[in-house]
């Protein structure tokens, strides 16, 4: 047994024969213990308590060195007498520091990284004994480890729904560069807090290098301009209640939560502007959150409204007015642009299912809602939106970045069809 232990002997033992121990100068409380050696130093803990710190070694010399080191540490400042392992500390850090003080989405993000990546690889390591080599070895192993196998994702499915790793056909779900970086950053944030609590003296996660990992690619990760046009035309012709939401996501590049959190007071038809400042989210099994904070500070902005977006929002107004009349007294009053048939907020997961269903009916390839953001710039080009306006919508810092997108001109037939999207929407309702 080496290094500091968390449990102290019940009584300080005496030397064999009941004789009083004799110690060399400077050894202090060093004595034999269970076939090895132990020593005790009185320290002040980070909480201000006076407690005994125990150290152990295989030989007297080894124990003496640890004793001298502990004595020096006690003179320099507070010293913890117990050291949790990484898994224990992550749990406490998430519950006591992150959950009460950060956004629910931030807590969920850190919690996922901790449970799926950090704890399985480093959870049993003592916090005070965690080394740069431990962290580097863990990171180096992530790129070549199938996470479906490691986390038993397929095994947790119902037997009839297992399709890859549990069925003997590994899906090779390797962690991407961004995932590995996120796992490292989660550990680094936790260790930074542990330093502030004076549980450790350095953050070893800041001293490692990220390994080379494959950049995850997904087939069909975005639509072409023609596919986006076909999807929007189908949704418009079908009088889809979510047509305006698809337009906001595809043409303005709004995130799903930003679009669902949009209020009518954020829409200025006279000025042709849209204020993006709210988002609607569900974190885990908790309630829906409508909060005045977007993903980043730069995400909160006032965006210009191209004609097709204005037409789609006008259409949405008529749809909501009709739904309000049908619901009557059962209507839930709110200022949200996108609501259910009774006026309540829309469940974000229902948007995902609706998007998949519309994609199949429109006969375009299946992608995620989030993937539509990649198509935004190309659509702005096809709609002949001025580059300066597109720069503001895409939130680029330099016009040169926007002009790189404008160098890719879609077919003329597609451009004409997209311009006609909002034509009939301006007609008054029958």
Q: Give 266-292 pLDDT, tens digit per residue.
A: 999 998 888 888 888 776 666 677 666
- Cα–Cα nearest to 359, from 246, 275, 200: 246
Give the pLDDT of residue 421: 54
Lowest-pLDDT choice from 84-93, 281-290, 388-397, 400-409: 400-409
Percent of the chain with pLDDT over 90: 32
Give the phi and the psi of residue 405 in degrees, each rounded to 5: -70, -40
Query: Where does the pLDDT of residue 55 fall: very low under 50, low under 70, confident under 90, or very high at 90 and above?
Result: confident
pTM attached to this predicted model: 0.59
Class of 86-206 in CATH: mainly alpha
Span 340-350, mean pLDDT?
91
Give the pLDDT of residue 15: 44
| Domains of the chain, residue spans | 16-76, 86-206, 225-426
pLDDT for 142-169, tens place per residue? 988 888 888 888 788 787 777 788 778 8
- Find out if CATH 3.40.50.300 is the number for domain 225-426: no
Tell whether the model's pLDDT for residue 400 goes beyond 60: yes
Give the pLDDT of residue 396: 66
- Cα–Cα nearest to 184, from 209, 147, 149, 212: 209
Tell whether the model's pLDDT for residue 210 goes beyond 60: yes
Give the pLDDT of residue 242: 95
User: What is the Cα–Cα distance from 375 to 157, expressed in whole angstroms?
Assistant: 33
166, 154 in Cβ contact below 8 A?
Answer: yes
Span 307-334, mean pLDDT?
92
Q: Average pLDDT, whole number, for the chain?
A: 79
């Amino acid at each position: 047994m080496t290094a500091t232990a968390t449990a102290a002997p019940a009584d300080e033992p005496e030397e064999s024969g009941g004789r009083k121990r004799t110690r060399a100068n400077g050894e202090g409380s060093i004595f034999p213990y269970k076939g090895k050696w132990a020593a005790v130093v009185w320290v002040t803990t980070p909480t201000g308590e006076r407690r005994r710190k125990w150290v152990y070694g295989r030989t007297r010399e080894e124990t003496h060195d640890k004793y001298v080191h502990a004595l020096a540490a006690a003179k320099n400042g507070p010293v913890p007498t117990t050291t949790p392992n990484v898994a224990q500390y992550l749990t406490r850090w998430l519950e006591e520091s992150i959950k009460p003080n950060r956004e629910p989405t931030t807590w969920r993000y850190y919690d996922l990284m901790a449970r799926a990546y950090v704890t399985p690889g480093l959870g049993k390591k003592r916090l005070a004994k965690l080394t740069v080599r431990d962290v580097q070895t863990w990171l180096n192993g992530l790129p070549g480890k199938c996470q479906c196998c490691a986390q038993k994702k397929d095994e947790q499915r119902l037997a009839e729904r297992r399709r890859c790793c549990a069925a003997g056909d590994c899906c090779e779900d390797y962690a991407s560069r961004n995932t590995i970086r996120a796992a490292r950053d989660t550990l680094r944030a936790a260790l930074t807090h542990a330093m502030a609590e004076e549980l450790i003296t350095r953050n070893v996660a800041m001293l490692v290098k990220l390994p080379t990992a494959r950049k995850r690619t997904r087939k069909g990760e975005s639509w072409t301009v023609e596919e986006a046009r076909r999807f929007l035309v189908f949704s418009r012709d079908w009088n889809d209640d979510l047509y305006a939401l698809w337009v906001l996501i595809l043409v303005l590049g709004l995130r799903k939560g930003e679009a669902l959190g949009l209020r009518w007071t954020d829409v200025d038809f006279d000025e042709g502007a849209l204020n993006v400042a709210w988002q609607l989210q569900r974190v885990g099994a908790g309630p829906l959150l409508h909060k005045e904070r977007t993903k980043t500070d730069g995400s909160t902005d006032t965006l210009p409204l191209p004609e097709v977006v204005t037409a789609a929002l006008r259409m949405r107004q008529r749809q909501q007015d009709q739904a309000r009349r049908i619901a009557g007294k059962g209507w839930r009053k709110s200022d949200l642009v996108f609501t259910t048939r009774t006026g309540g907020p829309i469940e974000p997961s229902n948007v995902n299912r609706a998007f998949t269903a519309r994609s199949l009916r429109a006969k375009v390839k299946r992608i995620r809602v989030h993937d539509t953001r990649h198509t935004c710039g190309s659509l702005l080009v096809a709609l002949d939106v001025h580059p300066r306006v597109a720069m503001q919508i895409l939130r680029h810092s330099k016009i040169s970045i926007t002009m790189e997108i404008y160098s890719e001109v879609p077919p003329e037939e597609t451009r004409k069809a997209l311009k006609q999207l909002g034509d009939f929407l301006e007609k008054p309702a029958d």
